[in-house]
Chains A and B, each alone.
Chain A
Amino acid sequence: MADAAHASAAPVAHQFDDFEQQTIADTFGMWLFLATEVLFFGGLFCGYSLYRNLYFEAFTAGSHLLKINYGAFYTVLLICSSLTMALGVRAAQLRRRTALMVLVSLTWIMGFAFVFVKLRYEWYGDYLEGLVPGLNWAPSRESMEMINHFHAAGPHVALFFIFYFCMTGLHALHMVVGLGLLTTLLIFAKQGKVTGGNYNWVELVGLYWHFVDIVWIFLFPLLYLIGGRYV
């Protein structure tokens, strides 16, 4: 194993026999955590699919009230950040400290842009338009026209928006946690802790970041594209 040579550089916790066992255990733990996350989002996906099938028109109408440009923008942004993250892991593997720091910073910036645009522009816009059930639910005349166009019922469109906010909200929360992880990663990278052969921390943060990306890859069509956008 190539790692064996680096093992002396990286500390091995007392419960592990060697560096390799530690690395494998950490990675396996992260995958298990992601499995939990799948089911965590899964509860929302279950509720979403149930209501989407009950109130298909309402969900289509709700989808049309979202701005598809935002959705596509986020998707591309997250794909780019996934690329920089993946390249970051590669840089850590190759022990390139500067490259790693640049790539992680880029990832962080794109992640932050995602959260910022989502909160400041999209959600706040929804709030102003009266599309937030529970806080400000008063769809404008244009929105009502769209809802009526689909013969959808107002409360059912509200249900769509509840799931929209729950799902993207939970996703955004994960993004914020991810930003925190990236920050620690940046600090570790600066201290040279992760480019000395033990790049596992980069790998773990990468796994988490990509998972959050995948969730969005599914949220985008489910929320922004369902039923087509051809109205």
Chain B
Amino acid sequence: MSTVAVELTPTLPEVHYLNADYGWRSWLFTTDHKRIAWLYLFAITGFFAVGGLMATLMRLNLIEPQGLLMEPASYNKLFTAHGLIMIFFFLAPSIPTVLGNFLIPIMIGARDVAFPKLNLLSWYIFMLAGSVFMFSVIRGGVDTGWTLYTPLSTTYANGHVLSAAVGIFISGFSSILTGLNFMVTIHKMRAPGMTWFRLPLFIWALYATSVIFILAMPVIAITLALIALERVFHVGIFDPALGGDPILFQHLFWFFGHPEVYILILPSMGVMSELVAAGCRKRIFGYSFVAFSSVAIAAISFMVWGHHMFLSGQSLYAGFVFSALSFAVAIPSAIKVFNWTATMHKGSVSYDAPMLYAIGFIGLFTIGGLTGLFLASLGTDVHLHDTYFVVAHFHYVMVGGAIMGYLGGLHLWWPKMTGKLYPEAWARFACLLVFAGFNLTFGPQFILGYLGMPRRYAVYAPEFQVLNVMSSAGASILAVGYLIPLIYFTWSAFKGPVAGPNPWGAKGLEWTIPSPPPTNNFDETPIVTEAYAYGPEEAHVG
């Protein structure tokens, strides 16, 4: 056993990116990737709060079978807005734009992303998209579900489909530009010696995510444009009465929609690799398998979209193909889980909050992934399709997976972003609370789905009440679990103890520079010789 040196009395650097410049202009017109990460952090935290509040209201309403608070019409608008906000304005941008923006250039040894102005432009486009979308929510919202199925969304829905569609359309371009920027950065901006197989696995995951951004987002953009066109002129693109095919919309939507869920989970998987490596002080077991599984997921994810449409009127034979391919995409995810677990073997497992989140992620994502098999297999999907089983499954992946990863990553890199430490005890407590609350919220929903309770029901049969009340109780614990980090992070940004460049004793370029980093990241371009250079110090000079 060897040791790493952890600095004893860390001090903040005199000049760093946070105090290099003052005033609102220095933030709103910044092209520093680290400051843009903060802009995104504030924006998506706001959206998360709104979406979370909506979820809370929904869970409250479902305490009573006939609805505790509101009419079905309002409930329908709530879950639509909850879905769209969480997917397009929180989860999709969360890890890429906050942690990705902050870390990609630092992790590969660059001074900034390839196109800093474009990076800022993406944020403005994102804010414009968010404003247009929130405008539609405030005007009265949309009641179509986030899937916007035709002909409901084009002909029958009364809500503000048009402005909502425009909002999402615009947000797509923000994502495309971010993905483009990341891909060019990862390709062309790597420091000397940073070969592909020395890249941190977080970078591999974000690379795969960027591929999906670039190839999937334009399809949803054009599909939403068609929806808008159909809604304004009613020309029959998706209307069977005029010869249109409503199932075409589902094809176009899910061609984007399924890769989209990998946009949400892949970055989180990347964060996971870093959390486990840092939390165990160990190189990730089977590095190349984990790296390639990210790329494999990105590629196969584009060919499985029809498993959302087994019962939609799609051809039986297409269903078989989609089902088989869906199983194929499950394998790379399984490989990742096994490798993270194997990394812990004979590691030095810390019990700090980032590692606790990682452990939570492994557990919840395993359940989320395995229950995905129920929905990928043709037979079981017949009964479980569009029930709470689906809701539970994707929340296990999205909340249990993506958000756990996001929070874990935020804890791991918070000292790097602010130069301050967060209170560890509170963080562990919040993590346990999130884990427990989450399971109580979404565990019962698996049973509800098996019983046959359909999703998107504002009122439901009385025999489902007990499980629904359990779920709502869990949601309140979950809400507290999310509020606590908000408070202690805010506190620590101002009053937290100084962290020092490498509070975790972790490896990677980001831990070699001061916390917070200087505006240019590196005074001297680093030269890389190895990835995850844990192990005997003397072997890795340089």
Contact = CB atoms under 8 A, between A and B. Distances in A.
Listed residue (A16, A47, A135, A153) with the most chain B CB atoms within 10 angstroms of its CB: A47
B222 A158 contact: no
B176 to A, nearest CB: 5
Given A32-B183, A50-B248, A159-B243, A17 B525 contact: yes
Contact of B184 (A29, A35, A40, A153): A29
B222 A44 contact: yes
A48 B413 CA distance: 48
A156 B222 contact: no
Contact of A43 (B111, B114, B218): B218
Interface string B208-220: 0000001111110
A194 B384 CA distance: 61
A123 to B, nearest CB: 15
B188 A156 contact: no
Given A29-B115, A29-B180, A40-B218, A153 B243 contact: yes
Contact of A36 (B180, B181, B242): B180
Dominant SS among interface residues on chain A: helix
B112 A15 contact: yes
A156 B214 CA distance: 33
Contact of B222 (A24, A40, A134, A162): A40
A54 interface: yes
Interface string A31-72: 011011101111110110011001100000000000000000
B235 interface: yes
Contact of A28 (B112, B188, B222, B248): B188
Contact of A32 (B180, B222, B248, B252): B180
A25 B236 contact: no
A36 B236 contact: no
Given A36-B176, A158-B242, A21 B218 contact: no
B188 A24 contact: yes
Chain B, interface residues (CB within 8 Å), range: 35 or more
Contact of A158 (B229, B235, B252): B235
Listed residue (A33, A37, A162) with the most chain B CB atoms within 10 angstroms of its CB: A162
Interface string A151-171: 001011011001000100010
Nearest to B213: A36
Interface residues of A, number: 38
A133 interface: yes
B245 interface: yes
Given A21-B188, A44-B222, A158-B242, A15 B114 contact: yes
A55 B236 CA distance: 14
Contacts of A141: none
A162 B230 CA distance: 10
Contacts of A32: 180, 183-184, 214
B156 interface: no
A120 interface: no
Contacts of A55: 243
A36 B235 contact: no
B28 to A, nearest CB: 20
B22 to A, nearest CB: 20
Nearest to B241: A155
B234 A42 contact: no
B189 interface: yes
B237 interface: yes
Contacts of A37: 218
B242 A155 contact: yes
B181 to A, nearest CB: 8
Interface in A6-33: 13-17, 21, 24-25, 28-29, 32-33
B251 interface: yes
Contacts of B105: 15
B356 interface: no
Interface in A59-113: none
A135 B234 CA distance: 10
B187 interface: yes
B148 interface: no
Contacts of B242: 155, 158-159
12 contacts: A15-B110, A15-B113, A29-B180, A29-B181, A36-B218, A41-B222, A42-B222, A47-B226, A55-B243, A158-B236, A162-B235, A162-B237
Given A36-B215, A159-B236, A170-B222, 17 more contacts: A14-B111, A25-B187, A28-B187, A32-B214, A36-B180, A39-B218, A43-B218, A43-B222, A47-B252, A50-B245, A51-B243, A133-B233, A134-B235, A135-B233, A156-B243, A159-B242, A162-B229
Interface of A: 13-17, 21, 24-25, 28-29, 32-33, 35-37, 39-44, 46-47, 50-51, 54-55, 133-135, 153, 155-156, 158-159, 162, 166, 170
Instruction: List 6 A-B pairs, minimum CB-CB distance, nearest first.
Output: A134-B233, A43-B222, A40-B218, A15-B112, A39-B218, A25-B188
